[in-house]
Amino acid sequence: MNIYLDIFLTFARVGGLTFGGGYAMLPILQKEVVEKRGWVSEADVMDYYAISQCMPGIIAVNTSLFVGHKIKGARGSIMAALGVVFPSLVIIMLIAAFISSFSHLNWVQNAFAGIRVCVLVLIVNAIIKLGKSALIDWVTGLVCAAVLLLSVLTDVSPVLLVVASGLVGVLYKGRKEAKKA
């Protein structure tokens, strides 16, 4: 199959199966581009995802641009972004056409309640998977705990938290490597 079509269809699957926003996308993205196709590593996905959260725009689109670029450059980015957006565009257009006719029905409200629970489970699953590969020593555990506390208890910007965490990583790893030399 043409690689660009494969990129588009893969990201269309990710976009079409992601309910609940960018956080819910992570396990599906990891399964599709890391496990099934081996286009990028799990570490790459984590890095792209972290950077995408700090950038303006939609996390899914930003992440798809990074992954697409890694696979096939600028054209890969374009196909990945178009793929991840296409299902949402179609679904939103269909829902918008009919939502006012059905939103008051109990079964529709109950379906949305069930979907929210499912999204929560997908997010927790992504957190567990990320934690297994990200928490590699006491420093990463400490950074994780500090960022969790700061994000829950304060209004510190997520961008600032990511930048500060990156600086801690650079300083810690640099110091560790300097000791080895």
Contacts of 151 (CB under 8 A, 6+ apart): 158, 161
pLDDT at 150: 95
pLDDT in tens, 1-40: 699 999 999 999 988 887 766 777 888 888 899 999 999 9
104 & 27 share domain: yes
The encoded tokens of residue 18 equal: 């992601």
Enumerate residue ranges in the chain where pLDDT < 70. 1, 20-21
99 & 143 share domain: no
**Interaxial angle between packed helices 42-54 and 158-180, expressed in degrees from 0 to 180 and rounded to the nearest 10:** 140
Q: Which range marks the domain in which residue 77 is found? A: 3-133
Contacts of 86 (CB under 8 A, 6+ apart): 8, 12, 15
The encoded tokens of residue 178 equal: 């300097």
43 & 78 share domain: yes
151 & 165 share domain: yes
The encoded tokens of residue 120 equal: 């929560």
89 & 100 share domain: yes
pLDDT at 20: 67
pTM of structure:
0.61
101 & 167 share domain: no
107 & 149 share domain: no
pLDDT at 175: 84
* DSSP codes of every residue in the chain: --HHHHHHHHHHHHHHH--SSHHHHHHHHIIIIIIIS-SS-HHHHHHHHHHHHHSSS-HHHHHHHHHHHHHHHHHHHHHHHHHHHHHHHHHHHHHHHHHHHHTTSHHHHHHHHHHHHHHHHHHHHHHHHHHHHH--SHHHHHHHHHHHHHHHHS---HHHHHHHHHHHHHHHHHHHHHHH-
pLDDT at 1: 67
CA dihedral for 53, 58, 61, 65, sign (positive or negative): negative
